[in-house]
Amino acid sequence: MDSRTGLPVVGMVGGGQLARMTHQAAIALGQSLRVLAVSADDGAALVAADVVIGRHDDLDTVRAFAKGCDVVTFDHEHVPGDLIRTLAAEGVTLLPGADALRFAQNKREMRTHLAELGFPVPKWTAGDIKAFGDEVGWPIIVKTATGGYDGRGVFKAHSSKDLPDHQDLIGEELVQLKRELAAVVARSPLGQVAAYPVVETVQKDGICVEVLAPAPDLDEDLAIEAQRLAIDLATRLGVVGVLAVELFETTDGRILVNELAMRPHNSAHWTIEGARTSQFEQHLRAVLDYPMGDTRLTAPAVVMANVLGGAPGGMSIDERLHHLFAEEPGAKVHLYGKQVRPGRKIGHVTVLGDDLEDCRRRAARAARILEEGYEH
Protein backbone atom coordinates (compact mmCIF):
# COMPACT_ATOMS: atom_id res chain seq x y z
CA MET A 1 0.00 0.00 0.00
CA ASP A 2 1.03 3.59 -0.60
CA SER A 3 1.39 5.02 2.91
CA ARG A 4 0.40 8.46 1.63
CA THR A 5 -2.96 7.35 0.25
CA GLY A 6 -3.72 4.06 1.97
CA LEU A 7 -4.43 2.59 -1.48
CA PRO A 8 -2.69 -0.13 -3.48
CA VAL A 9 0.36 0.34 -5.69
CA VAL A 10 0.01 -1.24 -9.12
CA GLY A 11 3.15 -1.85 -11.14
CA MET A 12 2.82 -1.91 -14.92
CA VAL A 13 5.63 -3.41 -16.96
CA GLY A 14 5.89 -1.40 -20.16
CA GLY A 15 5.79 2.34 -20.66
CA GLY A 16 3.77 2.77 -23.83
CA GLN A 17 0.38 4.28 -24.50
CA LEU A 18 -1.48 1.55 -22.62
CA ALA A 19 0.44 2.35 -19.45
CA ARG A 20 -0.09 6.06 -20.13
CA MET A 21 -3.86 5.66 -20.30
CA THR A 22 -3.90 3.24 -17.36
CA HIS A 23 -2.08 5.93 -15.38
CA GLN A 24 -4.90 8.35 -16.21
CA ALA A 25 -7.47 5.86 -14.90
CA ALA A 26 -5.40 5.24 -11.76
CA ILE A 27 -5.43 8.96 -10.90
CA ALA A 28 -9.22 8.99 -10.61
CA LEU A 29 -9.13 5.93 -8.35
CA GLY A 30 -6.51 7.50 -6.11
CA GLN A 31 -4.04 4.75 -6.89
CA SER A 32 -0.31 4.98 -7.45
CA LEU A 33 0.83 3.45 -10.75
CA ARG A 34 4.50 2.50 -10.95
CA VAL A 35 5.79 2.13 -14.52
CA LEU A 36 8.74 0.11 -15.81
CA ALA A 37 9.77 1.85 -19.04
CA VAL A 38 12.63 1.15 -21.42
CA SER A 39 13.23 4.86 -21.93
CA ALA A 40 12.42 8.13 -20.18
CA ASP A 41 10.87 9.18 -23.51
CA ASP A 42 8.24 6.41 -23.43
CA GLY A 43 4.66 7.69 -23.42
CA ALA A 44 3.86 6.73 -19.82
CA ALA A 45 7.28 7.82 -18.53
CA LEU A 46 6.52 11.34 -19.74
CA VAL A 47 3.51 11.69 -17.42
CA ALA A 48 3.80 9.24 -14.50
CA ALA A 49 5.52 10.20 -11.24
CA ASP A 50 6.89 6.76 -10.29
CA VAL A 51 8.96 5.53 -13.24
CA VAL A 52 11.75 2.95 -13.28
CA ILE A 53 13.94 2.76 -16.38
CA GLY A 54 15.00 -0.77 -17.26
CA ARG A 55 14.41 -3.84 -19.38
CA HIS A 56 11.32 -6.00 -19.03
CA ASP A 57 13.28 -9.17 -19.79
CA ASP A 58 15.87 -8.72 -17.02
CA LEU A 59 14.96 -10.68 -13.89
CA ASP A 60 16.81 -8.48 -11.40
CA THR A 61 15.29 -5.32 -12.90
CA VAL A 62 11.72 -6.61 -12.73
CA ARG A 63 12.31 -8.07 -9.26
CA ALA A 64 13.49 -4.70 -7.95
CA PHE A 65 10.64 -2.94 -9.73
CA ALA A 66 8.06 -5.24 -8.12
CA LYS A 67 9.18 -4.49 -4.57
CA GLY A 68 6.53 -2.41 -2.88
CA CYS A 69 3.90 -3.18 -5.54
CA ASP A 70 0.70 -4.89 -4.46
CA VAL A 71 0.29 -6.34 -7.94
CA VAL A 72 2.28 -6.22 -11.18
CA THR A 73 0.59 -6.23 -14.57
CA PHE A 74 1.65 -5.60 -18.18
CA ASP A 75 1.08 -3.22 -21.09
CA HIS A 76 2.57 -5.76 -23.56
CA GLU A 77 3.10 -9.52 -23.83
CA HIS A 78 6.89 -9.57 -24.14
CA VAL A 79 7.89 -10.43 -20.57
CA PRO A 80 9.38 -13.97 -20.60
CA GLY A 81 7.21 -16.60 -18.98
CA ASP A 82 10.11 -18.06 -16.98
CA LEU A 83 10.75 -14.62 -15.47
CA ILE A 84 7.10 -14.31 -14.43
CA ARG A 85 7.11 -17.81 -12.92
CA THR A 86 10.31 -17.12 -10.97
CA LEU A 87 8.90 -13.96 -9.41
CA ALA A 88 5.54 -15.62 -8.71
CA ALA A 89 7.40 -18.39 -6.84
CA GLU A 90 9.07 -15.65 -4.78
CA GLY A 91 5.67 -14.31 -3.74
CA VAL A 92 5.16 -11.51 -6.26
CA THR A 93 1.59 -11.17 -7.55
CA LEU A 94 1.71 -10.87 -11.34
CA LEU A 95 -1.56 -10.73 -13.30
CA PRO A 96 -2.28 -12.23 -15.68
CA GLY A 97 -0.06 -15.16 -14.75
CA ALA A 98 2.43 -16.88 -17.02
CA ASP A 99 0.18 -19.90 -17.62
CA ALA A 100 -2.47 -17.64 -19.15
CA LEU A 101 -0.17 -15.11 -20.79
CA ARG A 102 1.65 -17.70 -22.87
CA PHE A 103 -1.43 -18.07 -25.06
CA ALA A 104 -1.17 -14.40 -25.99
CA GLN A 105 2.59 -14.70 -26.52
CA ASN A 106 2.69 -17.70 -28.84
CA LYS A 107 0.20 -18.22 -31.67
CA ARG A 108 1.12 -21.88 -32.03
CA GLU A 109 0.35 -22.62 -28.40
CA MET A 110 -2.80 -20.52 -28.58
CA ARG A 111 -4.14 -22.27 -31.68
CA THR A 112 -3.29 -25.71 -30.28
CA HIS A 113 -4.90 -25.13 -26.88
CA LEU A 114 -8.01 -23.39 -28.19
CA ALA A 115 -8.61 -26.21 -30.66
CA GLU A 116 -8.20 -28.75 -27.84
CA LEU A 117 -10.77 -26.84 -25.77
CA GLY A 118 -13.21 -26.77 -28.68
CA PHE A 119 -13.13 -23.04 -29.47
CA PRO A 120 -13.70 -22.11 -33.13
CA VAL A 121 -10.45 -21.26 -34.94
CA PRO A 122 -9.44 -21.17 -38.62
CA LYS A 123 -7.91 -24.28 -40.15
CA TRP A 124 -4.19 -24.08 -39.46
CA THR A 125 -0.91 -25.97 -39.23
CA ALA A 126 2.39 -25.73 -37.42
CA GLY A 127 3.85 -28.47 -39.62
CA ASP A 128 4.43 -28.65 -43.37
CA ILE A 129 3.04 -25.31 -44.55
CA LYS A 130 3.52 -26.16 -48.26
CA ALA A 131 1.48 -29.34 -47.88
CA PHE A 132 -1.14 -27.42 -45.90
CA GLY A 133 -1.44 -24.82 -48.67
CA ASP A 134 -1.83 -27.56 -51.27
CA GLU A 135 -4.55 -29.14 -49.12
CA VAL A 136 -6.71 -26.11 -48.25
CA GLY A 137 -5.90 -24.15 -51.40
CA TRP A 138 -3.69 -21.14 -52.00
CA PRO A 139 -3.43 -18.35 -51.04
CA ILE A 140 -2.97 -18.92 -47.31
CA ILE A 141 -1.98 -16.70 -44.39
CA VAL A 142 1.43 -17.26 -42.80
CA LYS A 143 2.27 -15.87 -39.37
CA THR A 144 5.30 -15.82 -37.12
CA ALA A 145 4.39 -17.72 -33.96
CA THR A 146 5.80 -15.01 -31.68
CA GLY A 147 6.43 -11.30 -31.79
CA GLY A 148 4.05 -10.10 -34.49
CA TYR A 149 1.70 -7.14 -34.04
CA ASP A 150 0.01 -4.40 -36.13
CA GLY A 151 0.39 -6.46 -39.29
CA ARG A 152 4.03 -7.33 -38.62
CA GLY A 153 4.78 -11.02 -38.88
CA VAL A 154 1.70 -11.70 -41.06
CA PHE A 155 2.04 -12.59 -44.75
CA LYS A 156 -0.22 -13.72 -47.56
CA ALA A 157 1.39 -16.55 -49.53
CA HIS A 158 -0.02 -17.22 -53.01
CA SER A 159 2.20 -20.27 -53.48
CA SER A 160 5.04 -22.07 -51.73
CA LYS A 161 7.44 -19.66 -53.44
CA ASP A 162 6.05 -16.86 -51.25
CA LEU A 163 6.76 -18.61 -47.94
CA PRO A 164 9.09 -16.52 -45.71
CA ASP A 165 12.53 -17.89 -44.86
CA HIS A 166 11.68 -18.28 -41.18
CA GLN A 167 11.50 -21.34 -38.94
CA ASP A 168 8.95 -20.16 -36.38
CA LEU A 169 5.82 -20.08 -38.54
CA ILE A 170 2.23 -21.27 -38.63
CA GLY A 171 -0.03 -21.44 -41.65
CA GLU A 172 -3.74 -20.60 -41.69
CA GLU A 173 -6.50 -20.88 -44.25
CA LEU A 174 -7.58 -17.64 -45.90
CA VAL A 175 -10.93 -17.15 -44.19
CA GLN A 176 -13.92 -16.02 -46.24
CA LEU A 177 -14.28 -12.86 -44.23
CA LYS A 178 -17.29 -10.60 -43.82
CA ARG A 179 -15.55 -8.36 -41.28
CA GLU A 180 -13.44 -8.39 -38.12
CA LEU A 181 -14.93 -8.05 -34.65
CA ALA A 182 -13.57 -7.79 -31.12
CA ALA A 183 -15.10 -9.00 -27.87
CA VAL A 184 -13.46 -7.42 -24.82
CA VAL A 185 -14.06 -8.71 -21.31
CA ALA A 186 -12.43 -8.39 -17.91
CA ARG A 187 -12.11 -10.97 -15.14
CA SER A 188 -11.10 -10.65 -11.49
CA PRO A 189 -9.24 -13.23 -9.35
CA LEU A 190 -12.56 -13.90 -7.60
CA GLY A 191 -13.99 -14.88 -10.98
CA GLN A 192 -16.30 -11.94 -11.61
CA VAL A 193 -16.50 -11.02 -15.28
CA ALA A 194 -17.73 -8.02 -17.25
CA ALA A 195 -18.26 -7.83 -21.01
CA TYR A 196 -18.24 -4.80 -23.28
CA PRO A 197 -20.48 -4.57 -26.37
CA VAL A 198 -18.97 -6.36 -29.36
CA VAL A 199 -17.31 -3.93 -31.79
CA GLU A 200 -16.30 -3.95 -35.42
CA THR A 201 -12.63 -3.27 -36.15
CA VAL A 202 -11.61 -1.90 -39.54
CA GLN A 203 -8.13 -2.81 -40.75
CA LYS A 204 -5.85 -1.25 -43.35
CA ASP A 205 -2.51 -2.84 -44.23
CA GLY A 206 -2.80 -5.00 -41.11
CA ILE A 207 -3.31 -2.02 -38.77
CA CYS A 208 -6.57 -1.20 -37.04
CA VAL A 209 -7.66 2.23 -38.26
CA GLU A 210 -11.22 2.41 -36.92
CA VAL A 211 -13.45 0.82 -34.26
CA LEU A 212 -17.25 0.99 -34.39
CA ALA A 213 -19.18 0.49 -31.16
CA PRO A 214 -21.45 -1.35 -31.08
CA ALA A 215 -20.72 -3.39 -34.22
CA PRO A 216 -23.36 -2.22 -36.73
CA ASP A 217 -26.02 -4.67 -37.92
CA LEU A 218 -24.56 -7.51 -35.88
CA ASP A 219 -27.08 -10.28 -35.27
CA GLU A 220 -28.03 -10.23 -31.60
CA ASP A 221 -27.53 -13.97 -31.17
CA LEU A 222 -24.07 -13.75 -32.75
CA ALA A 223 -23.16 -10.82 -30.47
CA ILE A 224 -24.17 -12.83 -27.41
CA GLU A 225 -22.24 -15.82 -28.72
CA ALA A 226 -19.10 -13.65 -29.10
CA GLN A 227 -19.43 -12.27 -25.57
CA ARG A 228 -19.99 -15.72 -24.08
CA LEU A 229 -17.03 -17.07 -26.03
CA ALA A 230 -14.76 -14.31 -24.63
CA ILE A 231 -16.02 -14.87 -21.06
CA ASP A 232 -15.52 -18.62 -21.43
CA LEU A 233 -12.00 -18.07 -22.75
CA ALA A 234 -11.10 -15.75 -19.87
CA THR A 235 -12.40 -18.29 -17.37
CA ARG A 236 -10.89 -21.43 -18.88
CA LEU A 237 -7.49 -19.81 -19.53
CA GLY A 238 -7.41 -18.23 -16.07
CA VAL A 239 -7.03 -14.67 -17.34
CA VAL A 240 -7.09 -11.88 -14.76
CA GLY A 241 -7.49 -8.38 -16.15
CA VAL A 242 -8.71 -7.35 -19.59
CA LEU A 243 -8.92 -9.96 -22.33
CA ALA A 244 -9.46 -8.83 -25.92
CA VAL A 245 -10.58 -11.56 -28.31
CA GLU A 246 -10.13 -10.56 -31.94
CA LEU A 247 -12.65 -12.41 -34.10
CA PHE A 248 -13.41 -13.14 -37.74
CA GLU A 249 -17.06 -12.98 -38.79
CA THR A 250 -17.26 -15.25 -41.82
CA THR A 251 -19.49 -14.84 -44.86
CA ASP A 252 -21.50 -17.89 -43.75
CA GLY A 253 -22.33 -16.37 -40.34
CA ARG A 254 -19.74 -17.99 -38.06
CA ILE A 255 -17.22 -16.41 -35.69
CA LEU A 256 -13.64 -17.65 -35.42
CA VAL A 257 -10.96 -16.68 -32.89
CA ASN A 258 -8.12 -14.79 -34.58
CA GLU A 259 -5.92 -13.33 -31.81
CA LEU A 260 -5.86 -12.86 -28.02
CA ALA A 261 -4.50 -9.96 -25.97
CA MET A 262 -4.39 -10.10 -22.17
CA ARG A 263 -4.14 -6.38 -21.43
CA PRO A 264 -5.99 -3.23 -22.43
CA HIS A 265 -6.37 -3.28 -26.20
CA ASN A 266 -6.72 -0.89 -29.12
CA SER A 267 -10.18 -2.27 -29.90
CA ALA A 268 -11.47 -0.85 -26.60
CA HIS A 269 -9.86 2.60 -26.50
CA TRP A 270 -13.32 3.95 -27.32
CA THR A 271 -14.41 3.01 -23.78
CA ILE A 272 -12.63 6.04 -22.24
CA GLU A 273 -15.50 8.29 -23.31
CA GLY A 274 -17.87 5.73 -24.81
CA ALA A 275 -18.47 3.37 -21.86
CA ARG A 276 -19.42 4.03 -18.25
CA THR A 277 -16.22 2.27 -17.16
CA SER A 278 -13.15 2.48 -19.39
CA GLN A 279 -11.14 -0.64 -20.13
CA PHE A 280 -8.21 0.93 -18.26
CA GLU A 281 -10.17 1.43 -15.06
CA GLN A 282 -11.64 -2.05 -15.54
CA HIS A 283 -8.18 -3.57 -15.84
CA LEU A 284 -7.13 -1.91 -12.58
CA ARG A 285 -10.32 -3.06 -10.87
CA ALA A 286 -9.73 -6.60 -12.10
CA VAL A 287 -6.09 -7.01 -11.03
CA LEU A 288 -6.94 -5.47 -7.62
CA ASP A 289 -9.97 -7.78 -7.27
CA TYR A 290 -12.39 -4.88 -7.02
CA PRO A 291 -15.95 -5.42 -8.28
CA MET A 292 -16.26 -4.84 -12.01
CA GLY A 293 -17.64 -1.58 -13.42
CA ASP A 294 -20.62 -0.83 -15.65
CA THR A 295 -19.85 -1.55 -19.33
CA ARG A 296 -22.85 0.12 -20.96
CA LEU A 297 -22.30 2.70 -23.71
CA THR A 298 -22.67 6.40 -22.96
CA ALA A 299 -24.11 7.13 -26.44
CA PRO A 300 -25.94 5.14 -29.12
CA ALA A 301 -22.91 5.26 -31.44
CA VAL A 302 -19.20 5.54 -30.66
CA VAL A 303 -16.39 5.63 -33.22
CA MET A 304 -12.67 5.54 -32.47
CA ALA A 305 -10.16 6.36 -35.22
CA ASN A 306 -6.46 5.72 -34.80
CA VAL A 307 -4.09 8.54 -35.65
CA LEU A 308 -1.08 7.35 -37.65
CA GLY A 309 2.10 9.28 -38.19
CA GLY A 310 2.24 11.07 -41.53
CA ALA A 311 5.10 12.31 -43.64
CA PRO A 312 7.68 14.43 -41.78
CA GLY A 313 7.66 18.18 -42.05
CA GLY A 314 4.81 20.58 -42.63
CA MET A 315 2.38 21.72 -39.96
CA SER A 316 3.33 21.03 -36.32
CA ILE A 317 1.15 18.77 -34.18
CA ASP A 318 0.21 21.81 -32.07
CA GLU A 319 -1.04 23.66 -35.15
CA ARG A 320 -2.98 20.59 -36.21
CA LEU A 321 -4.67 20.44 -32.81
CA HIS A 322 -5.78 24.05 -33.24
CA HIS A 323 -7.39 23.21 -36.56
CA LEU A 324 -8.94 19.99 -35.30
CA PHE A 325 -10.60 21.65 -32.31
CA ALA A 326 -11.92 24.41 -34.54
CA GLU A 327 -13.34 21.98 -37.08
CA GLU A 328 -14.46 19.13 -34.80
CA PRO A 329 -14.95 20.50 -31.26
CA GLY A 330 -16.79 17.34 -30.18
CA ALA A 331 -13.89 15.01 -31.00
CA LYS A 332 -11.96 13.70 -27.99
CA VAL A 333 -8.22 13.55 -28.66
CA HIS A 334 -5.69 11.21 -27.05
CA LEU A 335 -2.06 11.71 -28.07
CA TYR A 336 0.51 9.22 -26.79
CA GLY A 337 3.64 11.37 -26.57
CA LYS A 338 5.36 9.38 -29.33
CA GLN A 339 7.82 10.61 -31.91
CA VAL A 340 6.05 10.76 -35.25
CA ARG A 341 7.00 8.12 -37.82
CA PRO A 342 5.01 7.29 -40.95
CA GLY A 343 2.42 4.61 -40.15
CA ARG A 344 3.08 4.62 -36.40
CA LYS A 345 0.13 4.90 -34.03
CA ILE A 346 0.61 8.24 -32.29
CA GLY A 347 -2.86 8.67 -30.85
CA HIS A 348 -6.57 8.21 -31.37
CA VAL A 349 -9.73 10.29 -31.55
CA THR A 350 -13.21 9.32 -30.37
CA VAL A 351 -16.55 10.73 -31.47
CA LEU A 352 -19.91 9.99 -29.82
CA GLY A 353 -23.38 10.61 -31.21
CA ASP A 354 -26.74 9.25 -32.30
CA ASP A 355 -25.84 8.42 -35.90
CA LEU A 356 -23.04 5.97 -36.67
CA GLU A 357 -22.20 7.25 -40.14
CA ASP A 358 -22.03 10.84 -38.91
CA CYS A 359 -19.68 9.74 -36.11
CA ARG A 360 -17.51 7.88 -38.62
CA ARG A 361 -17.25 10.91 -40.86
CA ARG A 362 -16.33 13.22 -37.99
CA ALA A 363 -13.81 10.81 -36.45
CA ALA A 364 -12.12 10.19 -39.79
CA ARG A 365 -11.90 13.93 -40.45
CA ALA A 366 -10.40 14.59 -37.01
CA ALA A 367 -7.81 11.84 -37.46
CA ARG A 368 -6.95 13.10 -40.94
CA ILE A 369 -6.32 16.64 -39.65
CA LEU A 370 -3.90 15.26 -37.06
CA GLU A 371 -2.18 13.05 -39.60
CA GLU A 372 -1.95 15.38 -42.58
CA GLY A 373 -2.56 18.90 -41.29
CA TYR A 374 -5.24 21.20 -42.58
CA GLU A 375 -4.86 23.93 -45.12
CA HIS A 376 -7.56 26.52 -45.86
Q: Residues annotated in the binding site for ATP, as ranges?
A: 107, 143, 172-175, 180, 258-259
Round to whole Å and give the CA distance between 188 and 192. 5
Nearest Cα neighbor of 265 from 239, 236, 298 is 239
Known binding-site residue numbers: 107, 143, 172-175, 180, 258-259
* Residue-wise burial string across 57-80, b where 16 or more C-beta atoms lie within 10 A, e elsewhere: eeeebbeebbeebbbbbbbbbebe
Nearest Cα neighbor of 246 from 200, 279, 192, 194 is 200
Q: Write out the H or E segment, with its range, that includes residue 272.
A: helix 271-274
Query: Residue 164: is the preceding peptide bond cis (ω within 30°)?
Result: no
Angstrom CA distances, 243 to 122, 134, 246, 284, stand at 20, 35, 10, 13
Round to whole Å and give the CA distance between 304 and 179. 17
Q: What is the DSSP letter of 45?
A: T
Write the CB contacts of 222 (distance below 8 Å, at least 6 apart in sequence). 249, 253, 255
